[in-house]
């Protein structure tokens, strides 16, 4: 599994979404992204879509966001940060 620590959702067609490679093997997994205050800004069950750096239709500012990926296979959840760059 590869969890990138940065992406650039600027519409140039390169690295515009936060794509976690390898999650297709975990259909029940959950992915949660939080802002620096701990508020949830992205949630996906099964990771059916990549995060595009927005929340409720609004583009989020550049910054560091935090994630928790639970594979739902009995292993410890994966956590870390991702930087949104513009």
Name residue, tokens 């930087």.
Answer: 83
- Ordered structural domains, the chain, with CATH: 6-84 (2.60.40)
**How many CA atoms, within 13 angstroms, populate the side-chain half-sphere of residue 52?**
12
Residue 83 CB neighbours (<10 A):
13
List average pLDDT for each run of 10 residues in the chain, which is 86 residues long.
Answer: 94 94 93 97 91 95 97 97 96
pLDDT confidence of residue 47 = 84
pLDDT confidence of residue 61 = 96
């Amino acid at each position: 599994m590869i969890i990138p620590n940065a992406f650039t959702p600027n519409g140039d067609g390169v690295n515009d979404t936060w794509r976690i490679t390898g999650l297709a093997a975990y259909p029940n997994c959950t992915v949660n992204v939080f802002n620096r205050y701990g508020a949830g800004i992205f949630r996906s069950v099964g990771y059916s879509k990549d995060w595009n750096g927005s929340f409720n239709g609004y583009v989020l500012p550049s910054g560091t966001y935090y994630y928790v990926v639970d594979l739902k296979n009995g292993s410890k959840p994966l956590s870390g940060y991702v930087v949104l760059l513009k």
